[in-house]
Amino acid sequence: MRQNIVAGNWKMNLSFDEADNLIEELVEKLEENELAPNTRMIVCPPFPYLELCSDASVDSYFAVGAQNVNENDNGAYTGEVSATMLHSMELDYCIVGHSERRAYYGETDALIAKKVDQLQKYDITPIFCCGEVLEEREANRQFEVVKRQITDGLFHLDKEHITNIIIAYEPVWAIGTGKTATPDQAQEMHAFIRGLLAEKYGKEVADEISILYGGSCKPSNAKELFANPDVDGGLIGGASLKSEDFFQIAMSF
């Protein structure tokens, strides 16, 4: 059975002390309240706070992931972080292909495919982001765009490796804008993505893969979004920076 997942992407936010407070508050809430069965919380802080968060996660209340990875093993790549490093810290997850990396750092589908392989080589589950920009949605090209991102970023994987992927559909027009996709828009795209996976790998495999929604998800809309049959949770930006909001979203299953 596929997992329900709520992953928090802190992006480039918070001082060390603020990060420390946020993670402590989260641990307190998780000590006092259990998440629904089959529900996993993942926290993706900036690189310098990974150790702080993994230390706080020792009792397995949540898992920790990175926000990016370099496509090479190791070497002269100043400022970059490798999958071998993340693996040596026993991290289980890493976001790849976030729209901000595609837009500001020119990440292509081909590069993202290499990062996916690199993570899987070191047993780290990629949280693979896809989604259309506003102009593409307005031109009704969202399905074509997402199909290309999924095909070029993931479809070189075999059956065994595709099941070690989490997909996050994040319509770019909904990220950090306060505009959320309607539950119907989210379900429509998630069902489309699951259909692509089923065509390529078979229904049984497609049914095992968690597909998260991202884009201004908050406590007030999480329940309605997650109630859809193909929405298996959320990738949360802004609302993951407030422990109560993030926790309430995780309690929305």
Binding-site ranges for ligand PEP (CB under 6 A):
9, 170, 175-176, 214-217, 235-239
Annotated catalytic residue, options 98, 100, 136, 190:
98
User: Which tokens sit at 54?
Assistant: 């993994």
- Residue 98 is a catalytic residue: yes
The neighbouring-strand residues paired with 41 are: 6
Q: Which is nearer to ligand PEP, 201 or 241 (CB)?
A: 241
**Total length of the chain:** 253
**In the complex with ligand PEP, which residue's Cβ is closer, 8 or 53?**
8
Catalytic residue (one of 71, 107, 136, 170):
170
Helix then strand then coil, % of the chain, to nearest 5:
45, 15, 40
What residue type is 155 in one-letter code?
Answer: F
Residue 126: CB minimum distance to ligand PEP, A: 14
Question: Angle 31-36-42 (CA atoms, 0-180°, nearest 5)?
Answer: 65
The residues that bridge with 213 in the sheet, in sequence order, are 169, 234
For residues 150 and 129, give the distance between their C-alpha atoms in angstroms, rounded to a whole number: 9
Cα dihedral 182, 184, 187, 193 sign: negative
In the complex, minimum distance from the CB of residue 175 to ligand PEP, in angstroms, rounded to a whole number: 4
Smallest distance, ligand PEP to C-beta of residue 176, A:
4
Q: Toward ligand PEP, which CB reaches closer, 9 or 142?
A: 9
Q: Which is nearer to ligand PEP, 154 or 236 (CB)?
A: 236
46: amino acid identity, one letter: P
Closest separation between CB of residue 23 and ligand PEP, Å?
A: 18
Active site residues: 98, 170
